[in-house]
């Protein structure tokens, strides 16, 4: 079975929206190495509509760094408003229920599946379909912005499966759903 993973950059107060606004000088060599290692086995990416809109506008013409990874990979977009064909190469709209689609994808052929987009990550975590969630916590307080765990009805237990403090002061924490 294929592994489904997600990685978010977070402020110390839990904001995961627009990390480009707070990570500025806090992305060091360990973060780059971890990203490269995490992306190497990925053959499919699931994107929420908002992140698709943001990334397609920026990365479609960018073939360096993350663009070299994201442009050729298969991109599956969770959206109720977008329709195929999508302009960004190798992108298709998920035509079925997101959870059913991910269950089927997990049992199919290919490498790991990376998930991007706050609401999509929440849905897959709630459904038990996310195998690991990595949070790179930056030592900054942002105050406002979307948090991944704003609307929990009850406690959701996680197990810490890996951790690292980087040379620029970030805590990279990888969690799995509590067994």
Per-residue pLDDT of 161-177, as tens digits, reads 999 999 999 999 999 98
140 contacts 171 by C-beta, under 8 angstroms: no
Phi then psi for residue 83, to 5 deg, are -135, 150
Fold of 4-177: Dihydrofolate Reductase, subunit A (3.40.430)
Closest CA to 131 of 74, 50, 73, 46: 46
- The pLDDT value recorded for residue 74 is 97
- The pLDDT value recorded for residue 179 is 77
Q: Helices (H) and strands (E) in the chain — how many of each?
A: 5, 8
The three-state secondary structure class of 43 is strand
Ranges of residues in the chain whose predicted pLDDT is under 50: none
- The pLDDT value recorded for residue 20 is 86
Break the chain into its structural domains and give their ranges: 4-177
């Amino acid at each position: 079975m294929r592994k489904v993973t997600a990685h978010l950059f977070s402020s110390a107060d839990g904001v995961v929206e627009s990390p480009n606004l707070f990570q500025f000088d806090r992305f060091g060599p360990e973060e780059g190495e971890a990203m490269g290692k995490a992306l190497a086995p990925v053959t499919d990416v699931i994107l929420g509509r908002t992140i698709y809109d943001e990334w397609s506008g920026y990365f479609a013409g960018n073939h360096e760094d993350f663009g070299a990874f994201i442009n050729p990979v298969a991109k599956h977009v969770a959206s109720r408003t977008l329709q195929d064909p999508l302009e960004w190469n190798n992108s298709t709209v998920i035509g079925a229920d997101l959870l059913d689609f991910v269950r089927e994808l997990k049992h199919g052929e290919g490498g790991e599946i990376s998930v991007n987009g706050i609401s999509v990550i929440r849905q897959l975590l709630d459904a038990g379909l996310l195998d690991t969630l990595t949070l790179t916590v930056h030592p900054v307080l942002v105050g406002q912005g979307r948090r991944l765990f704003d609307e929990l009805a009850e406690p959701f237990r996680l197990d810490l499966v890996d951790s690292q403090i980087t040379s620029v002061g970030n805590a990279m924490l990888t969690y799995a759903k509590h067994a």
